[in-house]
Chains A and B, each alone.
Chain A
Amino acid sequence: AQKITQTQPGMFVQEKEAVTLDCTYDTSDPSYGLFWYKQPSSGEMIFLIYQGSYDQQNATEGRYSLNFQKARKSANLVISASQLGDSAMYFCAMIGERFSGAGSYQLTFGKGTKLSVIP
């Protein structure tokens, strides 16, 4: 079975500083995808960044980058130059080939990390 572990229930970061949110995963699938989503208090899940298991380079999207270490099974999210609007819950999630047989995909989510940006 797939599993996502986020060990930091809550994190604080000073505005304009960088922060790393940890995510480790476990899967027996040879091919899988890793996602990070942001959920503000309003409730909407916002897609941030994606990393494929066969991607050679770490994914980057603006201020977000994913530190992918395949051998260690980790996919940490790095947010540079934190802003007050970054305060939210962050979820790491994955999809594997195992779930493609039903013709659809199931995201496995971690428990999330609540990030608070301090002015």
Chain B
Amino acid sequence: DTEVTQTPKHLVMGMTNKKSLKCEQHMGHRAMYWYKQKAKKPPELMFVYSYEKLSINESVPSRFSPECPNSSLLNLHLHALQPEDSALYLCASSQDPSGGTYNEQFFGPGTRLTVL
């Protein structure tokens, strides 16, 4: 299984809502990533989990809260978002990142988020 799955595919939420994005992989990868991508821009890294521990937080506002319950699952909890947070949210995973520079990241199909 060489697939990263993400749910939901589309999400519309109000600024007062609480919602969660989910990501799952069964490739035995030990690193998982959240990216945010605005239209016609490259993906921007938000968070990295390595061995289920938060490794990188790219100064993301606290209204985004990541969670890694186990090595296969990654969640992104959303609360009190702003309209400018509307974007495509991509999840990715990769093998053990502890050595070498080859680190192919496998991406999921993304969740298109609209904040009203």
Contact = CB atoms under 8 A, between A and B. Distances in A.
Interface string B30-49: 01000000001111010010
Q: How large is the interface on A (under 10, 10 to 19, 20 to 34, 35 or more residues)?
A: 20 to 34
Nearest to A42: B109
Interface stretch (B13-21, B60-68, B73-81, B100-108): B100-108
B42 A109 contact: yes
A93 B109 CA distance: 19
A100 interface: yes
Interface string A82-114: 000000000100011100101111110111100
Contact of B105 (A44, A107, A110): A107
Nearest to B32: A104
Interface residues of B, number: 29
A97 B43 CA distance: 20
B105 to A, nearest CB: 6
A112 B51 CA distance: 31
A91 B50 contact: no
B41 A107 contact: no
Given A103-B97, A106-B45, A45 B107 contact: yes
A104 B48 contact: yes
20 contacts: A31-B101, A43-B109, A43-B112, A44-B107, A46-B107, A47-B104, A47-B107, A52-B102, A91-B43, A95-B101, A95-B103, A96-B101, A100-B99, A103-B50, A104-B55, A104-B97, A107-B105, A111-B41, A112-B41, A112-B42
Nearest 9 CB-CB pairings of A with B: A109-B42, A45-B107, A33-B101, A43-B110, A44-B109, A105-B103, A104-B50, A104-B48, A104-B97
Interface of A: 31-33, 35, 37, 42-47, 50, 52-53, 91, 95-97, 100, 102-107, 109-112
